[in-house]
Amino acid sequence: MTDNRWPEGFLWGSATAAAQIEGAAHEGGKEDSIWDAFARVPNAIAGGDTPERAVDHYHRMPQDVALMKELGLQSYRFSTSWARIKPGDRDPNPAGLDFYSRLVDELLEADILPWLTLYHWDLPQALEENGGWANRDTAARFRDYAVTVYEALGDRVTHWTTFNEPLCSSLIGYAGGEHAPGRREPRAGLAALHHQHLAHGLATAALRELAAEQQRDLKVGITLNLTNAIPDDPADPADLDAARRIDGLWNRMYLEPLLLGTYPADVLEDLREHRFEELVHDTDLRTIAQPIDFLGVNHYHDDNVSGRPLPADAVPGLTPTDRPTSSPFVGSEFVTFPSRHLPTTAMGWEVNPGGLRTLLVRLTAEYPTLPPLYITENGAAYDDVVSEDGRIHDSEREAYILAHVDAVREAITDGADVRGYFVWSLLDNFEWAWGYEKRFGIVRVDYETQQRTVKDSGLAFARLIADARTDEAALAAGPASARV
């Protein structure tokens, strides 16, 4: 790339999630979410870590927003905790709503666009005890929760995301068992998948109705984690079929109902013994497929897929989520991260920025009704070291982020309508089943003192934003002052 120009209005931000940063898990009226309960299951989470304190954002929110301002973020993607806003899914909790109301005010005051996600995996435990997402009624409960949040914040928040990565909160939580609620029930995983789609549709409709009544601007969408499933050996039919199945289960089971109003026929055929169709009532797909204003794309790495058993010398699964997710449904195929001899992050995930470009271009080509795209998560975990100068010279993370940002720009040049990039994550935080072991922040958190230190990657990201904005301003002022 020879210059730093981005489409006008391109949005730069950073993302977090409630259960990963807030702490105060049983304060201010909040009750258990499924992650609080899951953390009490022996060996469920690395090091026996819990979200109880996390990075104490609940108490440090104003300072954290000041940090965002210092970095020059234009938008902040955060999630609201259902178990804080409606503990036990009962009546709204004024203290919980007040926390998010103050956060939104603080952001607006700092000229940072609030980008709100309603569900980033933390179902109230009370609902889980009633069947959780495997129970169809949870979709209606979600709609009611969405309405409660909208009634409190809809006067100030314009950008709403219903779900973050439903693949993880359905199949990984209910069928794979590596995430809360830790169930290993294939049929429950599929029910959760469909019911989350339905919940998305019901909430989208409810929010649109409320916004229309009040004549408010509303942008509503969903965030999916999407991958390129690469056959390990493109000449091997077993690998090709495994790649088709993974693409089906991880991408198309989400994209197609949401964008096209259908489930992919080949995947339904693969799932025949689980009788997926019985979960889908007459008007469900119409509810699910209503128009969205944007699609959030989370992408960290591609997936190298094989239909053959693991070779004896293969590195076993490097993450809690790399293999069992698919196993209840697709038999012996698996996903191997390290086998393409690419560098890997501390998660064992391949570093391959070209994959992001490919993905964005593919989505653009394959879905004519695709709404504008935002990269709502991308980033990397590395084993950071605090240097003697007190700084964190995380050059690998910096390189990862800059290379992926470049890949986004290339995809835009290729015709993809990408309108923003949110780095994961603002702060080191509670990385789900990995506990505090894996650090994704562009800002380091000392978990003893809760002190925040901007890493080199954070400084680089701030420079990138500043440069992009300077160039945008120069372009707006006219061609003579624009850098070429």
Q: Would you tell me which residues interact with ligand FCB (CB under 6 A)?
A: 17, 20, 164-165, 168, 225, 298, 377, 424, 431-432, 440
How far is residue 21's CA from residue 134's CA, in Å, rounded to a whole number?
Answer: 27
Q: Are strands 113-119 and 75-79 parallel, antiparallel or unpaired?
A: parallel
Our CB check for ligand FCB shows the closer of 285 and 401 to be 401
CB of residue 20 vs ligand FCB: minimum separation in angstroms?
6
Our CB check for ligand FCB shows the closer of 164 and 196 to be 164
Our CB check for ligand FCB shows the closer of 377 and 472 to be 377
21-59 b/e (C-beta count within 10 Å ≥ 16 → b): bbbbbeeebbbbbbbbbbbeeeebbeeebbbebbbbbbe
Our CB check for ligand FCB shows the closer of 132 and 441 to be 441
CA distances from 197 to 143, 162, 241, 266 (A): 12, 10, 26, 19
Q: Are 317 and 337 contacting, i.e. CB atoms less than 8 angstroms apart?
A: no
CB of residue 298 vs ligand FCB: minimum separation in angstroms?
6
CB of residue 320 vs ligand FCB: minimum separation in angstroms?
11
382-396 b/e (C-beta count within 10 Å ≥ 16 → b): bebeeeeeeebebeb
CB of residue 92 vs ligand FCB: minimum separation in angstroms?
25
Q: Looking at this protein, which amino acid is placed at residue 165?
A: E
Q: Are 139 and 170 contacting, i.e. CB atoms less than 8 angstroms apart?
A: no
Annotated binding residue 20: yes
Our CB check for ligand FCB shows the closer of 329 and 440 to be 440
How far is residue 214's CA from residue 225's CA, in Å, rounded to a whole number?
Answer: 33
Q: Are 78 and 469 contacting, i.e. CB atoms less than 8 angstroms apart?
A: no
Annotated binding residue 300: yes
DSSP 173: I
CB of residue 395 vs ligand FCB: minimum separation in angstroms?
20
DSSP 48: G
CB of residue 226 vs ligand FCB: minimum separation in angstroms?
11
How far is residue 113's CA from residue 99's CA, in Å, rounded to a whole number?
Answer: 17
Beta-carbon contacts of residue 106 (< 8 Å; ≥ 6 apart): 61, 62, 65
How far is residue 169's CA from residue 85's CA, in Å, rounded to a whole number?
Answer: 19
Our CB check for ligand FCB shows the closer of 218 and 408 to be 408
CB of residue 91 vs ligand FCB: minimum separation in angstroms?
28
Residues paired with residue 418 on neighbouring β-strands, in sequence order: 373
**Residue spans of alpha helices (H) in 248-350:** 253-260, 265-270, 284-288, 327-330
85 CB burial (10 A radius; 0-12, 13-18, 19+): buried
Annotated binding residue 374: no
196 CB burial (10 A radius; 0-12, 13-18, 19+): buried
From the list 377, 396, 398, 472, the catalytic residue is 377
Annotated binding residue 164: yes
> Is 377 one of the catalytic residues?
yes
> Is 165 one of the catalytic residues?
yes
CA angle 44/48/50 to nearest 5° reads: 90
Annotated binding residue 185: no
DSSP 241: H
Beta-carbon contacts of residue 383 (< 8 Å; ≥ 6 apart): 346, 439
Our CB check for ligand FCB shows the closer of 164 and 204 to be 164
CB of residue 121 vs ligand FCB: minimum separation in angstroms?
7
Annotated binding residue 250: no
Q: Are 345 and 351 contacting, i.e. CB atoms less than 8 angstroms apart?
A: yes
Our CB check for ligand FCB shows the closer of 17 and 104 to be 17
The residues annotated as belonging to the active site are 165, 377
Which parts are annotated binding residues for substrate?
A: 20, 120, 164, 300, 424, 431-432
Binding-site residue set: 20, 120, 164, 300, 424, 431-432
